[in-house]
Amino acid sequence: MIIAVFPGQGSQSPGFLAPWLERDGARERLAQYSEWADVDLIAAGTEWDADRIRDTRVAQPLIVAASLLSWNSLDGRGRVSGVAGHSVGEFAAAAAAGVLSEEDALRLVGIRGRAMAEAAAAEQTGMSAVIGGDEASVVSRLEELDLTPANYNGGGQLVAAGALDALQKLAADPVAGTRVIPLQVAGAFHTRYMAPAVDKLRDAASQVATNDPALRVWTNRDGSVVESGAAYRDLLVEQVASPVRWDLCMTSFADAGVTGLVELSPAGTLVGLAKRALRGVPGVALKTPDDLASADALLNGETA
């Protein structure tokens, strides 16, 4: 069983889309994505600097668009058995599984990015990765500081979110055996701070048609398989203010008998986590079109 995984915010880097736009039809497709998301994704993915593409209103549609560009470039995508996305990557997974049209996925993620940026601007909040240590001890320390474990990423990585001063206290006095790394994001995503964004996204999503998944699809909520398109759409909305349980997704992949992972662009993070949590499972990170041959080899049962 080969599973396609779609990355979340923070995976973008300046100019990363340039090689993808050299493929036939890619520039035209990205221009259409730009119109749907109301962001100039061509300029964002090829010209804008790190600060500009860190903006939540830009980063979220940019990542989903890049994932769908690389997904549509994958000749062997018909041999993918299931999909899952990390945070905003769930919108790309929804389109890949046929739950949402690409148009609706890009329109909704544009709304999501703008709504989350507005929510983030209301208070001084952020996120930090906590690497290593005992998970229970880390969660206990976060509770003491009124921080939220926003991403359970597996592989010994948890992301804390909340007020900037509390994150600074965590970094100054980390839990034994951990490293605290501030993340380049604009707010405390997947926490109570994002409640206003949930309301705005829910209103938009209620007007969007869904189909039941054509591929097996796992949710960030608890790592379970979702069989209803309408239920998955609702989970996409609620996930904005709920923790990402990528650790449970990877446990579910193992239980399902995963034999390989293909991470769509901008790739690298999720395959890296899988190397620690799904030891021995081969993976391919589609960073540039040069990686397509390796992905197809994996899908054909050859060595990646």
Spatial distance between the Cα atoms of 303 and 283, rounded to a whole number of angstroms: 10
Q: Burial, 21: exposed, middle or buried (Cβ in 10 Å; 0-12, 13-18, 19+)?
A: middle
Which residues sit opposite 154 in a β-bridge? 157
What are the structure tokens assigned to 280, written together? 């021995």
Contact 147, 170 (CB under 8 A): yes
What is the pairing mode between strands 260-263 and 2-6?
Answer: parallel
Contact 9, 55 (CB under 8 A): no
- Name residue, tokens 């901008």: 266
Of 67, 73, 87, 128, which residue is the catalytic one? 87
Per the annotation, the verdict on 87 as an active-site residue is: yes
Of 67, 190, 242, 265, which residue is the catalytic one? 190
User: What is the DSSP secondary structure assignment for residue 174, as one 8-state letter?
Assistant: P
Can you state the percent helix, strand and coil of the chain, rounding each to 5? 50, 15, 35
Q: Indicate which residues carry an active-site annotation.
A: 87, 190
